[in-house]
Amino acid sequence: PHDLFERLREERPLFQVQLPNGVPLWLVTQYADCRAGLGDARLSNRIGTRIVAQDVLPAEIRASMGTHMLRVDGTDHTRLRRLVSSVFTAKRIERLRPMVEQMTSDLLDKMAVREQPDAIHDLAYPLPMQVICELLGVPVADHERFRTWSNAYLAGVGTQNFPVEVVTEFVHYVRDLVQQKRAEPDDKLLSAMIAARDDEDRLAEHELTSMCFLLIIAGYETTVNLLGNGTALLLDRPELADRLRADHEAIPAAVEEFLRFESPVPGASFRVATETLELGGQTIEEGELVLISLLSANRDGQVFPDSMSFDAERTPNQHMAFGYGMHYCLGAPLARLEAHIAFRQLLERFPRMERLDPSAALSWRPGLVMRGLTELPVKLNQ
Ligand code: HEM
């Protein structure tokens, strides 16, 4: 997609496209326009049923997955974000370091004895999943089901085959989970959110379900792609891997460049114009949808010199992989912590790791919502 975006940035910075399900939208590709769009309160996240068009989902299921902080604006957004924001501050997240270190080293122990190790299945996928489940207080045994549901959901967004059944099952699962935690509260985030609902009436029941749905999906689907894309970039650059192994201090800057160069979340969530407005010289009519391409913005040569080249020491590196403005990623400190630990341990533990078949094309995930690999088979050469 990078070459296409490069042409669009030059020739048609605002370009009207249609989702596979026929819904039209404006694709925004230049960095400056993307930033302006994300900072513009007239572009609202309350898109209602416009993408999951034709009302394919029963209203009560839609409410239980679509009323979280990323789908609202203004005071509702502030109220919902505030409920959980204290858990995700850089300081609180730093306290999770020993746990994440331990989870990573346990996963690498298992990877070391696998017959056919795979960087996605053995590390990139299970690590963020274990971390978010631990934070929320969700049973580890349910991981596989989440994965199936959330993959099917993300692959279906904007297509003709919106996976109604899968989403319904997912919502029912989350509702059951909430009931279980009500009966047996613990000291984790989900129980704290239930207390905020039951004791203080700070959110509605469907908002509570939606918040779990969002945190499960946002908490792991994205980070899987950062870990996977970064590993693939490293495997293709043995000199960089050697340098990072020798100098761990250089890992954070390399992670920022992974985020810029292969942005795990290729586009911000859809926005709708609440009034007619101008963006990048184009009139956007009230009610029209907008897709802000972070993948494209992050390769914009107007902002990043030699933007199509990977530079692990790039400074400054003001990428927008975590978005911008009031919906800026809540989990950025957590994603960074996981990435710093995972890459450091991976480099140390398997210094001679290579791709199983370096000539094979990378297998990118289907769908519009995530940029990541489905698998990355490796040889550990221990
Ligand atoms: C929002 C990216 C990890 C939770 C966002 C947005 C982006 C993003 C681009 C803004 C979307 C928009 O404006 O439409 C990423 C990337 C990650 C990552 C690239 C990993 C590499 C996480 C993690 C969590 C998380 C680990 C953990 C809970 C959230 C939440 C929001 C959000 C709750 C909504 C914030 C709001 O609406 O105010 N993320 N994310 N993310 N992210 Fe992340």
Cα of 84 vs centre of ligand 1, distance in Å, is: 13
Could you tell me the pLDDT band of residue 59, with boundaries at 50, 70 and 90?
Answer: confident
Percent of the chain clearing pLDDT 90 (strictly above): 80
* ipTM score above 0.95: yes
Asked if residue 159 lies in contact with residue 51, where contact means CB atoms within 8 angstroms, the answer is no
Q: What does the pLDDT look like over 210-262, one tens digit per residue?
A: 999 899 889 888 999 999 999 999 999 999 999 999 999 999 999 999 999 99
Q: What does the pLDDT look like over 69-82, one tens digit per residue?
A: 999 999 999 999 99
155 CB less than 6 Å from ligand 1? no
CATH number assigned to the domain covering 2-379: 1.10.630.10
The ranges assigned to domains in the chain are 2-379
Residue closest via CA to ligand 1's atom 39 equals 329
Residue closest via CA to ligand 1's atom 7 equals 322
CA pair distance 370, 43, nearest whole angstrom: 22
Residue closest via CA to ligand 1's atom 20 equals 223
329 CB less than 6 Å from ligand 1? yes
Dihedral-angle region of residue 218 (phi above 0 means left; psi in -120 to 50 means alpha; beta otherwise): alpha
Residue closest via CA to ligand 1's atom 2 equals 322
CA pair distance 355, 121, nearest whole angstrom: 14
* Residues in contact with 197: Cβ distance below 8 Å, sequence separation at least 6, in sequence order: 203, 204, 205, 208
Could you tell me the pLDDT band of residue 159, with boundaries at 50, 70 and 90?
Answer: confident
